[in-house]
């Protein structure tokens, strides 16, 4: 597909047809990268995507336990007021 580069103030831009936006899952924000002489536009990833499923799987497999016992520090004993 060919597209025209348009002037937007001092910058340039392209119009992305709605079907392409829907097909690729683009939202209001995108990631833009340069690979060689190619622009790559992709949806912004969600940094914590999949965490809920991973935590549930950990719980199912009993892998959600602390690796080391927590011990109170001197600050916990001297400064903290437990109610």
User: Alpha-carbon distance 18 to 22, whole Å?
Assistant: 6
CATH of 6-43, one of 3.20.20, 1.10.540, 3.30.1360, 2.10.260: 2.10.260
Q: Which helix H or strand E contains 31, and what residues bound it?
A: strand 30-35
Q: Helices marked H in the chain — which ranges? A: 18-24, 51-60, 74-78
pTM, full prediction:
0.51
* Grouped pLDDT means (10 residues each) for the chain, 83 residues: 94 94 91 96 87 94 84 84 75
In this prediction, residue 70 carries a pLDDT of: 80
With beta carbons less than 8 A apart as the criterion, state whether 65 and 55 touch: no
Question: In sequence order, which residues have a C-beta less than 8 Å from that of residue 15 and are 6 or more positions away?
Answer: 3, 4, 6
């Amino acid at each position: 597909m060919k597209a025209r580069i348009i002037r937007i103030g001092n910058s340039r831009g392209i119009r992305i047809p709605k079907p392409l936006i829907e097909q690729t899952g683009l939202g209001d924000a995108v990631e833009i990268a340069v690979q060689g002489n190619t622009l790559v536009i992709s949806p912004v990833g969600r940094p914590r995507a999949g965490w809920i499923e991973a935590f549930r799987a950990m719980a199912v497999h009993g892998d959600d336990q602390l690796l080391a016992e927590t011990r109170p520090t001197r600050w916990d004993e001297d400064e903290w007021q437990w109610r």
